[in-house]
């Protein structure tokens, strides 16, 4: 049983959990909710995007550029699998 | 002993992380400040329309046609403005987005999925809205003509408005949360109190307020409560997601 290392990182796990509850969230929302610097958040998002767990949507809000993120089906499945594996590991440690 | 305690505390922290989607959803469903702004604008427009209609009527009776014409022109301009705000295709979405950006620019945007409406449900929406609108105008007219006692105007309107508001909630789920149901609940309680003999109704020229005041007032209240709850949900969410020091900035 393996733990997904991409999701296991605390910041990335939180990004995935936030997006799992929504249709989409923009960059500003993730920055303020997670309390990260923009550069740091970008780095984590790139990793999740390259793993195919996130979908990026670029648009314009008036004249301002806006980037939104959506969890993919692959990301949603990977997140569910991650929790399942983690729970099994915790159970085996306890017993 | 320490190791066992650490494991237990780690388990509790992990369990707490599972609550993130729940609080995110609650926050997104209750971001009602934009709707609240639209309600306030609608209320102000309603008050202006009522005053102008009264002035136009008075001017017409007195034969002051200049004042009458000015009132009619301003009323027409307001009608055009309301059409722009209410009908999405004419720019309602743009105005809504502009207000949203103005209010929520600092904390960003988080949204729930739009409800999946079948063609049948969409058509039902187009039919039900005008029917309810006609019922409201009908109740007001019958109230003013004396066919419905002032006392019973609000309870009669509750018969169609409450099911309509509940239908709207189920139609808009999961984009909006159940807190908006506070409005039909309070509207029902208001009707029951009137039927029980509590004098919470208007008479005479103010009889239109029997419908307008509870409808707008309770919608406003429901949106304020939802907004306060969204603040609480965001606070809970930040409590779960904020990382400190190296963990936040590490890889």
| Minimum-distance CB partner of B25 among A13, A21, A31 | A21
d(C-alpha B6, C-alpha B249), whole Å: 23
d(C-alpha B26, C-alpha B161), whole Å: 26
User: How many cross-chain Cβ pairs, A to B, lie less than 8 Å apart?
Assistant: 107
A35·B248 Cβ contact <8 A: yes
Does the pLDDT value for residue B237 go beyond 70? Answer: yes
Does the pLDDT value for residue B2 go beyond 80? Answer: no
Q: A75 pLDDT band (50/70/90 cuts)?
A: very high
pLDDT at residue B69, as a whole number: 92
Q: Best interface-test mutation with B: which of A5, A9, A22 has the largest number of B CBs within 10 A?
A: A22
Residue in B18, B34, B50 with CA at minimum distance from that of residue B209: B50
Q: Any chain A CB within 8 A of the CB of B97?
A: yes
The CATH number of whichever domain residue A16 belongs to comes to 1.10.10.10
Predicted TM-score (pTM) of the model is: 0.85
Does the pLDDT value for residue B120 go beyond 60? Answer: yes
Residue A12: give the domain boundaries. 5-94
Residues 6+ apart with CB under 8 A from B250: A11
B248·A24 Cβ contact <8 A: no
Does the pLDDT value for residue B99 go beyond 90? Answer: no
Does the pLDDT value for residue B89 go beyond 70? Answer: no
Phi-psi region of B108 (alpha: psi -120 to 50; beta: other; left: phi over 0): left
Average pLDDT score, chain B: 86
pLDDT at residue B118, as a whole number: 79
d(C-alpha B221, C-alpha B14), whole Å: 36
Q: Do the Cβ atoms of B30 and B233 come closer than 8 Å?
A: yes
**Residue of chain B minimizing CA distance to A64:** B101
How many angstroms separate the Cα of B249 from the Cα of each of A36, A76, A82?
A: 7, 25, 23
Q: pLDDT tens digits for B144-166?
A: 889 999 999 999 999 999 999 99
| Minimum-distance CB partner of A23 among B7, B23, B111 | B111
pLDDT at residue B35, as a whole number: 87
Q: How many domains does chain A have?
A: 1
d(C-alpha A31, C-alpha A19), whole Å: 13
Q: Which helix (DSSP H) or strand (DSSP E) does residue B179 occupy?
A: none
Tokens of residue B165, six digits: 């508001």
pLDDT at residue B247, as a whole number: 60
Q: Do the Cβ atoms of B182 and B218 come closer than 8 Å?
A: yes
pLDDT at residue B104, as a whole number: 85
B112·A13 Cβ contact <8 A: no
Quickly count: other Cβ atoms within 10 Å of residue B151's Cβ: 17
pLDDT at residue B208, as a whole number: 83
Does the pLDDT value for residue B250 go beyond 60? Answer: no
Q: Where are the alpha helices (DSSP H) in chain A?
A: 5-8, 10-20, 27-34, 38-50, 73-94
B24·A62 Cβ contact <8 A: no
Q: Best interface-test mutation with A: which of B175, B241, B250 has the largest number of A CBs within 10 A?
A: B241
B-chain residues near A29 (CB < 8 A) = 107-110
Does the pLDDT value for residue A63 go beyond 80? Answer: no
């Amino acid at each position: 049983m393996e733990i997904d290392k991409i999701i296991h990182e605390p910041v990335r796990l939180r990004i995935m959990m936030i997006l799992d509850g929504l249709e989409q969230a923009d960059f500003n929302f993730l920055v303020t909710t997670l309390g990260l610097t923009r550069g740091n958040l970008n780095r984590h998002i790139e990793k999740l995007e390259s793993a195919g767990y996130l979908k990026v949507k670029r648009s314009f809000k008036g004249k301002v550029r806006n980037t939104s993120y959506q969890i993919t089906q692959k990301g949603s499945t990977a997140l569910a699998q991650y929790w399942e594996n983690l729970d099994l590991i915790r159970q085996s440690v306890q017993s | 002993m320490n190791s066992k305690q650490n494991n237990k505390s780690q388990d509790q922290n992990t369990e707490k992380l599972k609550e993130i989607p729940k609080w995110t959803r609650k926050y997104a469903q209750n971001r009602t400040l934009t709707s609240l702004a639209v309600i306030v604008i609608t209320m102000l427009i309603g008050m202006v329309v009522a005053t102008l209609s009264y002035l136009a009527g008075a001017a017409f009776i007195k034969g002051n046609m200049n004042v009458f014409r000015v009132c009619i022109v301003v009323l027409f301009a307001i009608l055009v403005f309301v059409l722009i705000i209410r009908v999405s295709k004419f720019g309602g979405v743009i105005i809504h987005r502009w207000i949203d950006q103005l209010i929520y620019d600092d904390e960003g945007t988080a949204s729930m999925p739009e409800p999946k409406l079948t063609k049948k449900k969409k058509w039902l929406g187009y039919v039900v809205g005008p029917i309810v609108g006609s019922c409201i105008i009908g109740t007001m007219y019958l109230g003013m003509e004396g066919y419905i006692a002032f006392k019973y105007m609000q309870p009669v309107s509750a018969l169609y408005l409450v099911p309509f508001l509940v239908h709207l909630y189920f139609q808009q789920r999961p984009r909006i949360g159940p807190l908006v149901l506070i409005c039909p609940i309070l509207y029902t309680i208001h009707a029951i109190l009137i039927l029980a003999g509590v004098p919470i109704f208007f008479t005479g020229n103010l009889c239109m307020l029997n419908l307008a005041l509870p409808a707008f007032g309770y919608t406003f209240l429901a949106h304020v409560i939802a907004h306060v709850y969204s603040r609480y949900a965001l606070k809970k969410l930040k409590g779960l997601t904020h990382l400190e020091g190296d963990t936040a900035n590490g890889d």
